[in-house]
Amino acid sequence: MTTPARMTIGSFAQATGLSAKALRLYDDLGLLRPAQVDPDSGYRRYDPAQLTDARLIGLLRRADLPLNDIRLLLDTPAPERPAALRAHLARLDHLHRERRDLTLYLISRLQGETPMTLPPVQTRFQPEQNVASLPRHVFVADLPAAIQGGMQTLLDHVAAQGTVAGAPFVIFHGEVNADSDGPIEICVPYGGPVTPGGDVALRVEPAHHEAFVALTREQFEFPQILAAYDATCAHATAHGTCTLRPREVYGYDWDGAAPGEPVGDVAWPYEPAPVTS
């Protein structure tokens, strides 16, 4: 039986529709190794049996599957690959809805409309608090997991030495999106003889006034939550000077809240303007 001749990178690229540059990248990443590399010239040769995987990789890239996910998929037994692609499809659907909702929000905002019906902005005075805190640099895709994990670390740390003395909150010291990683600061108020340890620091959160809106689970979703940041910032600016960074305050039963019940607040600290007579 005659063994099919191995293919140059040029002929393999032509047969698969992939560029030679892409094939070199896939080689460097370990996605698609050539069957042979000439030790003197460095020329790559591919086996015709590799055409199937190469074409699959090309289609997966067109489906916007990240290269790391493609590597995992190629290592997955063939019968399990459809389930992995269904999970990718679910992520794409979520991303599409999020981008669509954000675009609609921006259209409404640019037209001077209120993108979402919110509860009225309220104000309160927050006394000084001792807080255990964890700073984190995180991009938006990893934000929920970072908040959940960091919050649990702080709650465990405080409970082991003292008591939780108030609603946990997350301060956004910088923008968190696909390009900017904050930072954020996860905070848990505490009482008792708590000491720092590991990544956990202790500090005093100064007393302040804040404008806040209580949100339901649906209103907490991105980008709907942006309307709450806009509303609280506008209220704080109209009634004083913004002094501290905005935060999300988790003073409700997130898991036990029924539809339509609040699960958290968006709050914007400010210094009230002096009262003039």
> Max CA-CA distance within the chain?
101
How far is the C-alpha of 243 from the C-alpha of 267, rounded, in Å?
A: 12
Please state the rounded mean pLDDT for residues 46-71.
Answer: 90
3-state helix, strand, coil in the chain (%, to 5): 40, 25, 35
Does the CA dihedral 236-241-244-245 come out positive or negative? positive
pLDDT: which is higher, 268 or 113: 268
User: Is a pLDDT exceeding 90 seen at residue 84?
Assistant: no
In this prediction, residue 109 carries a pLDDT of 77
User: Is a pLDDT exceeding 60 seen at residue 160?
Assistant: yes
Interior/surface letters 111-143, b for 16+ CB within 10 angstroms, e for the rest? eeeebbebeebebeebeebbbbbbebebebeeb
CB 266, CB 228: distance < 8 Å: yes
Residue 176 buriedness (CB in 10 A; 0-12 / 13-18 / 19+): buried
In this prediction, residue 187 carries a pLDDT of 98
How far is the C-alpha of 260 from the C-alpha of 269, rounded, in Å?
A: 26
Question: 1 in helix, strand or coil?
Answer: coil
Structure tokens, 64: 């916007």
**How many separate helices (H) and strands (E) can be counted in the chain?**
8, 13
In this prediction, residue 114 carries a pLDDT of 66
The bridge status of strand 240-242 relative to strand 122-126 is: unpaired
CB 74, CB 33: distance < 8 Å: no
What kind and span of H or E run contains 262?
A: strand 262-272
Phi then psi dihedrals of residue 85, to 5 deg: -70, -30
Q: Can you list the domains of the chain with their CATH numbers?
A: 7-75 (1.10.1660.10), 77-115 (no CATH), 122-272 (3.20.80.10)
Lowest mean pLDDT segment, chosen from 113-122, 203-212, 260-269: 113-122
User: Is a pLDDT exceeding 80 seen at residue 214?
Assistant: yes
ω into residue 135 within 30 of 0, thus cis? no
pLDDT per residue as tens digits for the range 14-51: 999 999 999 999 999 999 999 999 888 989 999 999 99
The bridge status of strand 247-249 relative to strand 184-191 is: unpaired
User: Is a pLDDT exceeding 70 seen at residue 192?
Assistant: yes
Q: Which of 53-67, 103-117, 193-207 has the highest mean pLDDT?
A: 193-207
pLDDT band for position 243 (50/70/90)?
Answer: confident
User: Is a pLDDT exceeding 60 seen at residue 1?
Assistant: no
pLDDT band for position 64 (50/70/90)?
Answer: confident
* CA 31 from centre of chain: 27
pLDDT: which is higher, 109 or 271: 271
200 DSSP 8-state letter = B
In this prediction, residue 3 carries a pLDDT of 63
pLDDT per residue as tens digits for the range 203-213: 999 999 999 99
pTM of the model: 0.69
Angle at which helix 51-62 crosses helix 67-74, to 10 degrees, equals: 140
